């Protein structure tokens, strides 16, 4: 049964964003165990820096703020991309370096197939 979960993500180091979501995951997480069996996933990102929500001091998760939903296949990052995935994740989330090695962490990425931008621009009354 589909369900949502929160995972750290990065699309590259701060000065080298790629638009490809990378994740640092463990097979001990039920979400990851499921993705290894059925890799279809969706990822929804709230509008964090858009003009409407910032100008009106509205929480980015408010329904009036835009949301971007990406759907695609979650795949293990191939060996030739692991170093980039490491730089991407560790530069944005340095704390993950200290996560217990016994969890068998590895990198996954989403091969994006569909992009849906939901923008709810409400007029002021």
Q: What pLDDT does residue 124 have?
A: 47
Query: What is the residue range of 89's domain?
Result: 19-118
Which of 47, 48, 39, 45 is CA-nearest to residue 109?
39
Q: Does 12 reside within a domain?
A: no
Residue 108 has a CB neighbour count (10 Å cut-off) of 21
Number of independent structural domains in the chain? 1
Which of 18, 120, 101 is CA-nearest to residue 61?
120
Q: Which residues contact 67 (CB under 8 A, 6 or more apart)?
A: 44, 45, 46, 47, 117, 118
Q: Does 3 reside within a domain?
A: no
Q: What pLDDT does residue 49 have?
A: 56
Q: Does 10 reside within a domain?
A: no
**DSSP code at position 31:** H
What are the residue ranges in the chain where pLDDT is below 50? 123-125
Q: Does 123 reside within a domain?
A: no
Q: Does 9 reside within a domain?
A: no
Q: Does 58 reside within a domain?
A: yes
Query: Residue 34: phi, psi to the nearest 5?
Result: -65, -40
Tokens 């980039």, located at residue? 84
State the Cα–Cα distance between residues 77 and 108, nearest whole angstrom: 5
State the Cα–Cα distance between residues 17 and 10, nearest whole angstrom: 8
Rounded to two decimals, the pTM is 0.82
The CATH number covering residue 95 comes to: 2.30.110.10
Q: Does 63 reside within a domain?
A: yes
Q: Does 69 reside within a domain?
A: yes
Q: What pLDDT does residue 50 have?
A: 60
State the Cα–Cα distance between residues 43 and 26, nearest whole angstrom: 18
Q: What pLDDT does residue 5 have?
A: 86
């Amino acid at each position: 049964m589909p369900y949502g979960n929160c995972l750290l993500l990065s699309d590259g180091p701060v000065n080298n964003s790629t638009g490809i979501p990378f994740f640092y995951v463990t097979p001990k997480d039920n979400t990851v165990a499921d993705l290894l069996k059925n890799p279809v996933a969706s990822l929804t990102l709230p509008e964090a820096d858009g003009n409407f929500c910032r100008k009106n001091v509205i929480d980015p998760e408010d329904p009036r703020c835009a949301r971007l939903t990406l759907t695609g296949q979650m795949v293990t990052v191939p060996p030739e991309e692991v170093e980039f995935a490491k730089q991407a994740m560790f530069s944005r989330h340095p704390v993950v370096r200290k996560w217990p090695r016994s969890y068998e962490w590895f990198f996954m990425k989403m091969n994006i197939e569909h992009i849906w931008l939901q923008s709810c621009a409400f007029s002021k009354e």
